[in-house]
Chains A and B, each alone.
Chain A
Amino acid sequence: MPAWLNNPGMLLIIAGCIIPLLPYRARMVVLLGAPAAGLAWLWQIPLGTTTQMALLEYTLTPLRVDGLAFTFGVIFHIAAFLAGVYMWHTRSRLEPAAALIYAGSAIGAVLAGDLITLFMFWEVTAIASALLLVIRGLRDAMIVARRYLLVQTGSGLFLMGGAAIHIHATGDVAFTHLGLDAPGSWLILFAFGIKAAFPLLHNWLQDAYPSASPTGTVVLSAFTTKMAIYALARGYAGTELLIPIGAVMTIFPIVYAMLANDLRRVLSYSLNVQLGFMVVAVGIGTELAINGAAAHAVTHILYKALLFMSIGAVLHQTGHVRATELGGLARQMPWTAAFCVIGAASISAFPLMAGFVSKSLILSAVAEEKWAGTWVTLTAASAGALLYVGIKIPYFAFFAPNDQIKADPAPRNMQIAMGLTATACIALGLAPGLLYSILPYPVDYQPYTVDHVVTQMQLLAFSGLAFWLAWRAGLYPRPMRAVHLDTDWLYRRVLPALGHVGERLFQTANRRFRAGAGSLADTAMTRLRVRYGATGVLSRTWSTGWMALWVAILLIVYLALYY
């Protein structure tokens, strides 16, 4: 087998390429079989394995399986499988194809051992994920897909530029620890930062994820951002600049999540918050912290997928996803409501849930390194989780009073997918050893100490109390049908406005210039006509006598001058 094919990611990509040609049943077998086979394949590759191949003058490493790559590879396969179950009912040929190619390229990216391979898979994820938006066919989704693709390929360009500088300067294509001092490093960090949704670079996420189909969002939520977290953990572990960036990321999206009306937008903002936890952990960079980042990526993929699945099921059944239109679905979709509550409890880090065992790893890593301010920020952010998603999502979707809405329970396959994901959330919470066994470094950590549990319960109870009192006082921001400006305002309003101003300036200047030049030409032509026209001074006919006289005068003048 050629080295570039010897990769579980390529298995998924090839499966994705042939899937549109197959009949429905065979499609579904491939959709679930490919991630399962890929996971089995990855599982039996011994840690430390690398394969190499030559491309032009470079030696590429298309496959490198070490602890960090293994953790992300495993969870990406599981996410692809669960998303496959969730989209079992779809008759679309392209959506499963795009999902598999997207998952495969994300797996390829985390298993890539060099910058060139990383760049290629990085770009394939951008295109395949944009396809997930385009497939929906709605006009708005197409416009969003265009913006999304611009941002994503922009990230790819920065990665290519940075990688080219790095390879040119060092002659080394390997993707290992870079740090900020390596050549081209800032460009590469910027590329990773776009996909990891750093503050001010984040808004593509909240723009795109709510616009995909119910199934598409579940797929989108898992891969791109976590691939960026992996890349940061590989290249920039211990870069202290990431700590303040991550800390800001854990706080400001909370406010937006509280204001947002579209429940999938709320979840997208909360995804941003959770990425902040991982970015801080990468910035800390100790073994415990990298374990925390990887563990949080695993649990976060699961519970965020679960939340997107349950809200997607609501959208699929009712056609509504905004808090102002939803509510009261708990009786009509009881299982979906229960799974949503499990997801919400998990993201709020209730003890016995997956979020608790991974978040406490990160908090402990921050405390170990004595980053007091960051620790307080992260603890506060994890208390805030209850406010903007833990209570808000289940309440507005399922429990708010609303007798206008009727819905049947979600399709069986959606319920199975949610059930499997919810089981995984609870299983990892109950038996954290399962999670810790696939982490990059050996784990010696006990999340369930009396201390941890008590302080976590205090956090949850009192942020719940704050929510309740704010609600009773009528202060909690109620959902409103409105747009809340975020950084996309810059490129959706300011840039086009500047463009209009520039266009007007150009047109005015152009008109003035043309008018000026035109009148200049007119004047010149009139003058020429006066001199040389049919009746002009120089076109008159002269009598022979006058001619002879003028010639005589000319000769006299000549003679006079000659002497």
Chain B
Amino acid sequence: MLIERNPQSLRRPSTPARRRAAWLLYAVCALTLVPSLFIHPHAKFGFAELPAFHALLAFVTGCVLVLAAIILRRLIIRGEDYYEHRT
């Protein structure tokens, strides 16, 4: 498989506390978007005045960085003792 996923134990929101935290996160995300409907930002750049520009930028950045890390790891990962006795 091209992308190796982490094992299930590392992924699921297994506990109720984590599920609550996840819902809290979704709520906060929605909440931060509300003011953009009413406030017109005074940005120095035209594109930054789009509503929710920062939200989009942050989300895309996050996804791109995670993908970049996955791809880069395949190229540069070596064994733990790679540099042993060679320095």
Contact = CB atoms under 8 A, between A and B. Distances in A.
A385 to B, nearest CB: 10
A450 B39 contact: yes
B55 A461 contact: yes
B4 to A, nearest CB: 9
Contact of B22 (A460, A468, A476): A468
B77 A484 contact: yes
Contacts of A474: 5-8, 10-11
Interface in A452-475: 454-468, 470-475
Nearest to A388: B65
A451 interface: yes
Nearest to A366: B44
Contact of B65 (A147, A387, A459, A485): A387
A507 B28 CA distance: 68
Contact of A470 (B31, B62, B80): B62
Contacts of A457: 28, 32
Contacts of B10: 471, 474, 478
Interface stretch (A25-33, A37-45, A253-261): A253-261
A454 B7 CA distance: 36
Interface in A486-532: 486, 492-493, 496
A458 B68 contact: no
Contacts of B25: 461, 464-465, 468
Contacts of A451: 39, 41-42
Interface residues of A, number: 54
A540 interface: no
Nearest to B3: A475
Contacts of A370: 44-45
Given A465-B25, A474-B10, A484-B77, A259 B72 contact: yes
A369 to B, nearest CB: 9
A485 B58 contact: no
A368 B29 contact: no
A158 B20 CA distance: 56
A177 interface: no
A368 B59 CA distance: 25
Interface in B52-87: 52-59, 61-63, 65-70, 72-73, 76-80, 82-83, 86-87
Q: Pick from B3, B7, B25, B86 the residue with the most CB of A within 10 Å.
A: B25
A483 B79 contact: yes
Interface in A420-455: 450-451, 454-455
A486 B82 CA distance: 13
Given A367-B43, A375-B45, A466-B63, A461 B32 contact: yes
Interface string A217-246: 000000000000000000000000000000
B29 A461 contact: yes
A465 B62 CA distance: 9
Interface string A344-386: 0000000000000000000000011010100110011001100
A553 interface: no
A383 B72 contact: no
A462 B5 contact: no
A458 B69 contact: no
Nearest to B67: A475
B79 A482 contact: yes
A379 B57 contact: yes
A388 B62 CA distance: 10
A168 interface: no
B62 A463 contact: yes
Q: Pick from B39, B43, B59 the residue with the most CB of A within 10 Å.
A: B59
Contacts of A137: none
A263 B6 CA distance: 20
B69 A259 contact: yes
A470 B63 contact: yes
Contacts of B5: 473-475
Contacts of B57: 376, 379-380, 383, 459
Closest 3 CB pairs of A and B: A466-B62, A474-B5, A383-B58
Given A383-B58, A463-B59, A468-B25, 7 more contacts: A255-B69, A451-B42, A456-B54, A458-B33, A461-B28, A466-B59, A478-B10
14 contacts: A255-B68, A372-B45, A375-B45, A461-B32, A462-B55, A462-B59, A465-B26, A468-B22, A468-B25, A470-B62, A471-B10, A472-B13, A477-B66, A492-B83
Interface of A: 143, 147, 254-255, 258-259, 367-368, 370, 372, 375-376, 379-380, 383-384, 387-388, 450-451, 454-468, 470-478, 480-486, 492-493, 496
